[in-house]
Amino acid sequence: MLLMYDFKSVELRWQTRWEREHLYRTADESAKPKYYTMEMWPYPSGDLHVGHAKNYTLGDVIARMMRMLGYNVLHPMGWDAFGLPAENAAIDRGIDPAVWTAENILNMRRQIRLMGTGYDWSREIATCEPEYYRWNQWLFLRLFESGLAYKREAPVNWCPHDRTVLANEQVIDGRCWRCDHLVERRNLSQWFLRITAYADRLLEDLANLSGWPERTRTMQRNWIGRSEGANVAFAVDGMDESIEVFTTRLDTLYGATFLALAPEHRLVGPLKRTVSNERATAIDDFVESLKSKTELERTSLMEKQGVFTGAHAINPLSRERIPIWLTNYVLAEYGSGAVMGVPAHDERDFEFAKKQGLPIAEVIVPLNGESNEPLHAAYVEDGRLIASDDFSEMSSERAREAIAERLTAIGAGGKSVGYKLRDWLISRQRYWGTPIPIVHCPHCGEVAVPDDELPILLPPRERISGEGSPLASIPEFIETVCPKCGEKAKRESDTMDTFFESSWYYLRYLDPHNDGLPWASPRADRWMNVDQYIGGAEHTVLHLLYSRFFYKYFHDRGWVSGSDEPFARLFHQGLVLHDGEKMSKSRGNVVGIDQTAEQIGVDAMRLFLLYVTPPEETSNWNEEGISGRVRLLGRIWRACEPHFDAIRESRHPELSAPPGAESKDEKALLRAVHVVAKSAIDETMSRRFHYNTTIAKLDELVNLMTASSEPTPVMFYAVRSLPILIAPFAPHIAEELWERLGHTTSVHLERYLEPEERALAIEEITLVVQVNGKVRARIAAAVGVSEDEALALALADPNVRAHLNGKELRKRIYVPDKLLNLVAA
């Protein structure tokens, strides 16, 4: 794989020049239309590999294309720098996470530049800097003021060994990912953001996000999980309490034969006090047995279990007295944590009732059918009601309405909407995150830290033990006075989930040095929304949903205007495998940026990543495939090199209008130049980004250019155009060629080549002649050949005649300049 140019020195030289000349700095004021494009920022974990390069290369090509098409392009980069890996590295190696993070940022910034990307580095931000997390705290306080940030007890994953909560992702098979101890569920007081208040808007506005992949919208829709149903209140027999349940099948109310409660239900305690000691012990045992189980284990991996509380509830309509059970299959965090058990018409309740010997009461039968008794399985379809007082004979649909009305009338429930979406738990008992700016005062309660005291700085920490809540163990941090009453008080020791930072960073890029506000609204007015956002599909729900929530809140506060969605268009790039396998440190098959730049150069890397697959597909890195792109770069160089001197000495290195082409070859060459330009522009403007097809057309152009070295005007034109055509894709060799042709300014400041109809036009077409839909002849014809002329040409063809074979011509279909289909019988 030998190149005719020294890619390493070429790439280094131009990267240095770009940086020195601040080539990619974006002006806030411009007469050009704005285009805001960004890739999801990286976590500074150490080294970048070619998988990162696929993401940043795609974003870079789009930014460069739009810049060359006359847009004022904003293309920023920053660091999602808080989080667990830094903290764990600090625990393992006994170093300060700030130092570890800063070193990684330094290295990764170098590697991102090494890829030849054009970012406006003057806007670089990192979440672990006080200048950034100060505004995290400021935004938290606004949410707190608005009642959208609140603290409450909630069941969380708790590792008794490490004495800290864990994210769901950090619980593997019910055990702590670090120490392998069994994880418990604990009720702990935690900070939440009330994202559920925006559930309906987050759901409804998905319909307008036409620039988002359908599957992403579907997944968000499912995650929000809106379902329409009803609440029903069951009075507890002998107690001044009632149990509320949520159901989407109100029509089955008369079939409820028991109530099922989650072990965490608020009435478990009160109910226990009304029953015998024996029963109370059984309840305790049951609750205790589930305590150490995660929700996953409890709901998916275990069989349905339960214990009878000894208490009964009254069905508000039938007045039937039904037993109250505790079960493992009811989720405490969904609905009210209690369901009515209708075994005849719900598979889960059927399974549970069979196991516990509970009665099964059939109340729905097929519309035109009869009872299915005895039931061997739950009948879950809609149908006709039976054994349901005056609702009997109604359809399920009608009964749901009628029963809801009756419940409302007697004050025992009514229509209601349930969501799977739960409030966002943002508390972390961790060190390396944004401190939550709240003071706990024994007299005043939870008190907001005044704005002028921000930021609450993260205290320096050279050593972290990994046990317990790090901030809680630092008295200098915790001990403070109440901002309201001045008495002794304690600071909140939790830090924020790092998704908080990434929910608004696209706004900070617009105004990164503002020390009075997170961003100034006029900046947002000018730049938002993000025109194109690019990142992995793994963030489909979390980051992209949280960002939408934040942006809607900002919109409600009047801090941003226009649309209340942050990302107009979204693109998920596919993974990069290495010889068909996922890249991982343990496999030892990670293809790093440094080694790639060293061995083949980053222009070749970029071309390969763009060429091997459409960007949304999974691509496969393999050495053989790359050699094709390395060869292409060599051929590009050899196509241009013979003409450097002649073009430079002509003293007219700038592009003029395409020259007139005389011969067939010249016309083909001229056309090939414009075909590349058209493809590059079409793929960009259509937001399809299938630059693999553009580069295939570039291959064809270069094949034509290397076929001859005749110094014709068309050849000169092609050589002069080539650096512009390839500038977005292979920015270094483009710049080098451009300079060798006699230019003194950067090729990246040029306008992209405008495709011209005259150059793209073809004079001769291949007319495909079909007989009864099968191709029987291919005839060369002039563009614009008339149907009659085409018919005459076709009928003159012996093969066509043979297939017509004297049959009657019934019909003919003519597609101008393409095809003539003769239908005969």
Within positions 573 to 602, which residues make up the interface with RNA, using CB under 7 A?
Answer: none
* Candidate list 67, 384, 430, 690; residue touching RNA; CB under 7 A: 690
* Candidate list 44, 116, 337, 435; residue touching RNA; CB under 7 A: 337
Closest contact distance (angstroms) between CB of 682 and RNA is: 10
The interface with RNA within residues 636-655 (CB under 7 A) comprises 638
* Candidate list 318, 599, 627, 712; residue touching RNA; CB under 7 A: 627
Q: Which is nearer to RNA, 209 or 612 (by Cβ)?
A: 612
| Rounded Cα distance, 18 and 67, in Å | 15
Q: Which is nearer to RNA, 344 or 482 (by Cβ)?
A: 344
Helix, strand, coil percent values for the chain (each to nearest 5): 40, 20, 40
Q: Which is nearer to RNA, 257 or 619 (by Cβ)?
A: 619
Question: Which tokens sit at 470?
Answer: 């790090």
Give the three-class secondary structure for 662: coil
Closest contact distance (angstroms) between CB of 622 and RNA is: 7
Q: How many residues bind RNA (CB under 7 A)?
A: 86
β-pairing, 227-236 vs 242-247, is antiparallel
The interface with RNA within residues 701-720 (CB under 7 A) comprises 703, 706-707
Scanning 490-622, the segments in alpha helix (DSSP H) are 499-502, 505-508, 521-527, 542-557, 593-599, 602-611
The interface with RNA within residues 212-231 (CB under 7 A) comprises 214-215, 218-219, 222-223, 225, 227, 229
> Are 42 and 770 contacting, i.e. CB atoms less than 8 angstroms apart?
no
User: Cα-atom radius of gyration of the chain, to the nearest Å?
Assistant: 34
* Candidate list 182, 275, 541, 590; residue touching RNA; CB under 7 A: 541
* Candidate list 693, 756, 760, 779; residue touching RNA; CB under 7 A: 693
Question: Which tokens sit at 687?
Answer: 């937001």
Binding mask 342-361 for RNA (x = CB under 7 A): ----x-x--x----------
Q: Which is nearer to RNA, 58 or 458 (by Cβ)?
A: 58
β-pairing, 364-365 vs 164-166, is unpaired
Closest among 491, 116, 159 to 292, alpha carbons compared: 159
Closest contact distance (angstroms) between CB of 399 and RNA is: 14
| Rounded Cα distance, 219 and 215, in Å | 6
The interface with RNA within residues 252-271 (CB under 7 A) comprises 262
Tell me which amino acid residue 541 is.
V
Q: Which stretch binds RNA (CB under 7 A): 88-96, 331-339, 426-434, 544-552?
A: 331-339
Tell me which amino acid residue 750 is.
E
> Are 173 and 293 contacting, i.e. CB atoms less than 8 angstroms apart?
no
The interface with RNA within residues 464-493 (CB under 7 A) comprises none
Instruction: Give the Å distances, CA to CA, from 271 to 267, 317, 332.
Output: 6, 23, 17
Tell me which amino acid residue 388 is.
S
> Are 724 and 755 contacting, i.e. CB atoms less than 8 angstroms apart?
no
* Candidate list 23, 239, 668, 823; residue touching RNA; CB under 7 A: 823
Q: Which stretch binds RNA (CB under 7 A): 91-99, 472-480, 533-541, 641-649?
A: 533-541
Q: Which is nearer to RNA, 560 or 610 (by Cβ)?
A: 610
* Candidate list 52, 298, 384, 606; residue touching RNA; CB under 7 A: 298
The interface with RNA within residues 233-252 (CB under 7 A) comprises 246-249
Backbone angles phi, psi at 341, to 5 degrees: -90, 115
Question: Which tokens sit at 380?
Answer: 């879950």
DSSP state of 177: T
Report if residue 770 touches RNA, rule: CB under 7 A: yes
Question: Which tokens sit at 345?
Answer: 């018409």
Report if residue 791 touches RNA, rule: CB under 7 A: no
* Candidate list 517, 775, 792, 796; residue touching RNA; CB under 7 A: 775
Binding mask 37-66 for RNA (x = CB under 7 A): ------------------------------
Report if residue 413 touches RNA, rule: CB under 7 A: no
| Rounded Cα distance, 801 and 778, in Å | 13
